[in-house]
Amino acid sequence: MLLPDQASCVLGAIQRREPETAVLVAPLFLSQGYFTRTVIPKRLAGRQYRYNGKTILPHPFAARWMERQVAAWLDGFTNRQGSDRLEGEQA
Protein backbone atom coordinates (compact mmCIF):
# COMPACT_ATOMS: atom_id res chain seq x y z
CA MET A 1 0.00 0.00 0.00
CA LEU A 2 1.34 3.41 -0.94
CA LEU A 3 0.53 6.94 0.02
CA PRO A 4 -0.30 9.16 -2.96
CA ASP A 5 3.01 11.02 -2.57
CA GLN A 6 4.97 7.77 -2.92
CA ALA A 7 3.12 6.32 -5.90
CA SER A 8 4.99 7.99 -8.75
CA CYS A 9 8.44 7.17 -7.37
CA VAL A 10 7.56 3.53 -6.71
CA LEU A 11 5.81 3.17 -10.06
CA GLY A 12 8.90 4.55 -11.79
CA ALA A 13 11.14 2.07 -9.96
CA ILE A 14 8.90 -0.85 -10.93
CA GLN A 15 8.85 0.24 -14.56
CA ARG A 16 12.64 0.57 -14.68
CA ARG A 17 13.09 -2.88 -13.15
CA GLU A 18 10.34 -4.57 -15.17
CA PRO A 19 9.45 -2.40 -18.18
CA GLU A 20 7.13 -5.03 -19.70
CA THR A 21 4.99 -5.27 -16.55
CA ALA A 22 1.61 -3.53 -16.56
CA VAL A 23 0.85 -1.72 -13.32
CA LEU A 24 -2.72 -1.60 -12.08
CA VAL A 25 -3.63 1.28 -9.76
CA ALA A 26 -6.44 0.38 -7.32
CA PRO A 27 -6.95 3.08 -4.68
CA LEU A 28 -8.21 2.03 -1.28
CA PHE A 29 -10.64 4.85 -0.59
CA LEU A 30 -14.16 4.70 0.80
CA SER A 31 -15.56 6.58 -2.18
CA GLN A 32 -14.61 8.23 -5.42
CA GLY A 33 -13.85 11.91 -5.26
CA TYR A 34 -11.17 14.56 -5.52
CA PHE A 35 -8.24 12.24 -4.85
CA THR A 36 -9.38 9.53 -7.25
CA ARG A 37 -10.32 11.97 -10.03
CA THR A 38 -7.57 14.57 -9.66
CA VAL A 39 -4.72 13.85 -7.27
CA ILE A 40 -3.84 10.29 -8.28
CA PRO A 41 -3.81 10.94 -12.06
CA LYS A 42 -1.81 14.14 -11.51
CA ARG A 43 0.79 12.41 -9.35
CA LEU A 44 1.15 9.56 -11.85
CA ALA A 45 1.35 11.82 -14.91
CA GLY A 46 3.96 10.66 -17.40
CA ARG A 47 3.94 7.07 -16.12
CA GLN A 48 2.47 3.99 -17.79
CA TYR A 49 -0.31 2.46 -15.70
CA ARG A 50 -3.87 1.19 -15.83
CA TYR A 51 -6.44 3.06 -13.79
CA ASN A 52 -10.17 3.48 -14.21
CA GLY A 53 -10.67 6.03 -11.44
CA LYS A 54 -12.76 3.67 -9.35
CA THR A 55 -12.06 2.71 -5.77
CA ILE A 56 -12.03 -0.71 -4.13
CA LEU A 57 -14.70 0.49 -1.72
CA PRO A 58 -17.61 0.81 -1.34
CA HIS A 59 -18.35 -2.83 -1.89
CA PRO A 60 -21.47 -4.65 -0.69
CA PHE A 61 -19.36 -7.28 1.05
CA ALA A 62 -17.66 -4.59 3.15
CA ALA A 63 -21.01 -3.53 4.60
CA ARG A 64 -21.93 -7.16 5.31
CA TRP A 65 -18.60 -7.73 7.02
CA MET A 66 -19.14 -4.66 9.23
CA GLU A 67 -22.64 -5.88 10.14
CA ARG A 68 -21.23 -9.26 11.19
CA GLN A 69 -18.50 -7.61 13.25
CA VAL A 70 -20.99 -5.39 15.08
CA ALA A 71 -23.38 -8.30 15.67
CA ALA A 72 -20.57 -10.43 17.10
CA TRP A 73 -19.45 -7.59 19.35
CA LEU A 74 -23.01 -6.99 20.55
CA ASP A 75 -23.47 -10.70 21.25
CA GLY A 76 -20.28 -10.71 23.29
CA PHE A 77 -21.29 -7.52 25.09
CA THR A 78 -24.74 -8.91 25.92
CA ASN A 79 -23.24 -12.16 27.20
CA ARG A 80 -20.73 -10.28 29.36
CA GLN A 81 -23.47 -8.07 30.78
CA GLY A 82 -25.50 -11.14 31.70
CA SER A 83 -22.57 -12.81 33.45
CA ASP A 84 -21.96 -9.70 35.58
CA ARG A 85 -25.33 -10.06 37.30
CA LEU A 86 -25.55 -11.60 40.70
CA GLU A 87 -27.27 -14.94 41.01
CA GLY A 88 -31.03 -14.42 41.03
CA GLU A 89 -30.75 -10.80 39.80
CA GLN A 90 -32.98 -9.95 36.86
CA ALA A 91 -32.24 -7.70 33.92
Same-domain check for residues 72 and 30: no
**pLDDT tens readout for residues 26-85:** 887 878 899 899 999 999 998 889 999 888 777 778 778 888 988 998 888 777 665 555
Contacts of 85 (CB under 8 A, 6+ apart): 91
Same-domain check for residues 1 and 36: yes
Predicted pLDDT at 1? 63
Cα 56–Cα 57–Cα 60 angle in degrees, nearest 5? 115
Predicted pLDDT at 59? 76
Predicted pLDDT at 42? 92
Structural domain boundaries enclosing 49: 1-58
9 residue type, one letter: C
Predicted pLDDT at 38? 92
Q: How far is CA 62 from CA 27, 29, 41, 79, in A?
A: 15, 12, 26, 26
Same-domain check for residues 3 and 33: yes
Nearest by Cα to 55 from 39, 66, 71, 67: 39
What does pTM read for this prediction?
0.56
Predicted pLDDT at 21? 86
Residue 8 scores a pLDDT above 60: yes
Total domains, the chain: 2
Same-domain check for residues 36 and 72: no
* H-helix or E-strand spanning residue 90: none
